Structure 1
Amino acid sequence: MKRLRWAAVAAVALLPALASPPAHAARATTSYRAWHWNIAGNTMHHGSTTDGLVAAAVQSIQDNSAVFASLNEVCAQQFTAMINQLRAVDWPVDPANFARFETTIPGRSGGPCGGKDYGIALFSKQPLGPADRFTLPYDGNEPRHLLCAPLKSQPQLRFCTVHATFVDAYRATQLKAIFGHVDDYHADGDQVILAGDFNVGPDWARMDPYYSAQVNTPNNHNNTGHYREVDDADPVYCTGYGETTEEGAGGGGPCGTGGKIDMIFSHEDDYVASASTGDARSSPHSCGGKSCSDHRILVGLLTLGH
């Protein structure tokens, strides 16, 4: 978990700086609500399943009508509790096939999560197909992985989650690997929704090769890539950058109101920007009267053409 001291202000006047994608003939579209949260399941909760964290996550998924959800920094016992509570509220269509977990630190005595596995997780309202699990270049600190799963009934739509390194010397290497795998899916004709804590900001030079060149504002420019982020056209919070995802943010960043390291991406060829949007929701304060995480919850409406 990496806490930044950045921020975001905004100006509607900046909207014209977002380049319009090339005109296309009318095509069918489908919209999906994706939800992402770095829950700090070990550092702030020590693996607890009863301190309000799991209940807060499940309630937020319901409140935001999410059809995809992902967690970073989640303990195995919290993942199991999420499954049980989502089943209890009848969220998944198939209660036996809607969740995937990838271990980044195996359970061990004296380790995180009270000795249980620690990692990343994804959930889907619709049944899932077999997951792909990609190991990222090792940063010398913690094994990192990219976890992706398709819809069983729609195998060319994949939902992925990742928690990238905060070790600066390996940031660029891991980003190249992450987006390389997603590029491979795109080359095969798949559509991908990628959610996670990237431990970099949208305006960082390391993101330029991946962030869509359609986004060119004073807050985020020099981009040469092909991926749009759900909050990059926000007319109120730092256009081109988006709203802070740091809970209790104060100062820093291109606009001055908080850093953004949690993001939800899709390829510009699929992404219909005019019908997509994102919002960072405050962390619930229902965990013993305190904020449940030092990350805010990121929610995106992604409209994809097909």
Structure 2
Amino acid sequence: MRSIGRAAGAAALALAAVFAPGAAAPAGAAGTTTATTATTATTYTVWHWNVAGHKINKGLDGTGAVDQAAWKANKATWMVDEAVGSIKAQKADFVSFNEICRGQYEEIRGKLSDGEDKWTGAKSFARFATTVEARPGGVCQGQAFGIALFSKAELGISSTYDLPPDYTQAQVDAGTYTEDRKMLCAPLAAQERMKFCTTHITGSNERLPDATSPKINGRQLNAVRDVLAGFAAAGESYLVAGDFNAQPGPGFPRLAPLMAGHTELDGADPRHCPGYGEWTALDDPATPDPNPAPCAENEGNPKIDLILARTDRLAENSTYTADTMAIPARCSVDGGRTLRLCSDHRVLTGSATLRTG
């Protein structure tokens, strides 16, 4: 947990206790507000997961195509069930998904707003941006594929920002596809100067379309930086989560232009690589390390999923913190006969108190 002190403005001054899954959010309960002399400070908890909706979960969403009784009999789960349960347990205010199939998004949206233990009572709380169009034989059993965000509170009008072209050909089943990388943002309906965004940057470090071009991932990261700079110039507050396919810290310069002016919520944990944070992505999902080292940079599993806040919008005398959670291992794509990891990424959660007025 990191403290934000008055004397240093938005600069960090002290390290405090570690935020563990299920622990109380810092600086007050998540989603609460406190009035200050000129602004309102609000604490938000963010939940992010790259769910490998097609790569590992094959577009399955629990609404058909298989015998659901087989899952129940074999004590397997859907990725959807694991995600919904975790979101509710963590009492998230904002939720970000990468690599999610449209059917999975629809099922999650329904499960978050139904039942006695529903996560939200808002009517307009979910947004989806397509990065791979639906087509027969394509990803997600022919459905659209993309990124998504959810908010416990009502959302206003969302915006989708196209990032520089990827060009990278990805193999899927019987064909190839190119993903149109985007950033998806939405303001709170009751507080339009507070936005939440999600994005998924390409993993390619190539110079495409030709050898004289800038590297693709760097161009996309800079495009995200420029959009966020526009929000900041307008006096808006925001949180952005996603798989940036870039690691934080001085040893990884690719992310540096975007990090200028931003705070990564998992960078201040004294027990887990200060300035870097806990690993989020398996280097080799086929043979995951059962006893990973304390620091991601020492074990090969990178920290590429991030939650960013604008540094100068962090409330004075407040704290920020983040943590990762183990990947659920009870998912299946064959009716529960074989259990597997639900993703090749961990869930990343974080809390911060922002000036939102």
TM-score per shorter chain, which class?
Answer: 0.7 to 0.9
Q: Distance in 2 between matches of 1:298 and 1:199?
A: 14
- 2:248, 2:255 within 8 Å by CA — same for their partners in 1? yes
Inter-CA distance 19–274: structure 2 relative to 1 (3 Å threshold): closer
Question: Conserved in 2, the CA contact under 8 Å of 1:163 and 1:196?
Answer: yes
Q: CA RMSD in A?
A: 2.5
The answer on 1:147 being equivalent to 2:219 is no
Partners of 1:166 and 1:231 lie apart in 2 by 21
Q: Which residue of 2 aligns with 1:187?
A: 233
The answer to whether the Cα contact below 8 Å between 2:225 and 2:257 also exists between their aligned partners in 1 is no
Residues 1:91 and 2:119 are matched in the alignment: yes
In structure 2, the residue matched to 1:157 is: 194
Letter in 1 for 2:165: Y
Instruction: Quickly say closer, same or farther: Cα 1:23–1:194, change in 2 above 3 A.
Output: closer
The match for 1:271 is 314
Structure 2: runs of 5+ lacking an equivalent: 11-35, 63-76, 169-178, 206-214, 283-287, 333-338
- Is the Cα–Cα contact under 8 Å of residues 238 and 255 in structure 1 kept in the other structure? no
State the shift of 1:23 in Å: 3.8
Task: Give, in whole Å, the separation in 1 of the partners of 2:78 and 2:297.
Answer: 34
Listed as ranges, the matches of 1:167-246 within 5 Å are: 167-168=204-205, 169-203=215-249, 204-211=252-259, 225-246=260-281
Q: Shift of residue 256 of structure 1?
A: 4.0
Residue type matched to 1:67 in 2? D
What is the CA-CA distance between 1:196 and the residue it aligns to?
Answer: 0.2
In the alignment, is the contact (CA less than 8 A) between 1:243 and 1:258 conserved in 2? no
Give the count of matched residue pairs: 278
Task: Provide Cα deviations, 1:31-88, integer angstroms capped at 9, x if missing partner.
Answer: 1000000000001011101251101000000111101001000000001000111112
Q: Scaled by the length of structure 2, what TM-score is found?
A: 0.73
Structure 1 residue 210, shift from structure 2 partner: 2.3
Return the alpha-carbon distance in structure 2 between the equivalents of residues 82 and 263 of structure 1: 22
**CA contact 2:113–2:121 (8 Å) conserved in 1:** no
SS at 1:276's partner residue? strand
Report the CA distance shift for 1:174/1:41 in structure 2 as closer, same or farther (over 3 A): same
Shift of 1:303: 1.2
Correspondence for 1:262 among 305, 308, 323: 305
What is the CA deviation profile of residues 205-225 of structure 1, one whole-angstrom value per residue up to 9, with x for unaligned ones? 0111222xxxxxxxxxxxxx1
Report the 3-state secondary structure (helix = DSSP H, G, I; strand = E; otherwise coil) of the residue aligned with 1:177: helix
For 1:115, give the aligned amino acid: G
Q: 1:133 aligns with which of 148, 160, 163?
A: 160
CA distance in 1: counterparts of 2:234 and 2:298, whole angstroms: 38
2:48 paired residue number: 36
Larger-Rg structure: 2
SS of the residue corresponding to residue 44 of structure 1 reads coil
Q: Distance in 2 between matches of 1:202 and 1:21?
A: 26
Counterpart position of 1:118: 145
Paired with 1:210 and 1:84, the residues of 2 have a C-alpha distance of: 34
Q: Report the secondary structure of 1:159's partner residue.
A: strand
Q: Deviations over 1:200-244 (max 9, x none)?
A: 101320111222xxxxxxxxxxxxx11001111011000011011
Distance 1:72 1:30, change over 3 A: same
State the one-letter code of the partner of 1:202. P
1:297 aligns with 2:328: no
**Structure-1 separation of matches of 2:187 and 2:262:** 19
Please name the residue that 1:282 is paired with: 326
Q: Secondary structure at the match of 2:312?
A: coil
- Alpha-carbon deviation of 1:139? 1.5
Mapped partners of 1:254, 1:43: distance in 2: 25
Other structure's SS at 1:269 match: helix
Q: Distance in 2 between matches of 1:128 and 1:63?
A: 22
Secondary structure, counterpart of 2:88 in structure 1 = helix
Secondary structure of the residue that 1:193 maps to in structure 2? strand
Residue deviations 1:116-157 (CA, integer Å, cap 9, x gap): 100000000001001110000001022100000000001000
For normalisation by structure 1, the TM-score amounts to 0.85
Q: Hey, what's the Cα distance between the residues in 2 that align with 1:304 and 1:228?
A: 12
1:258 Cα offset (Å): 3.2
- Separation of aligned partners in 2, 1:99 and 1:178: 21
CA displacement at 1:271 relative to structure 2: 2.0
Q: Percent identity?
A: 37
SS in 2 for 1:149: strand
Runs (5+) with no aligned partner, structure 1 = 1-14, 212-224
In structure 2, how many angstroms separate the alpha carbons of the residues matched to 1:180 and 1:235? 31
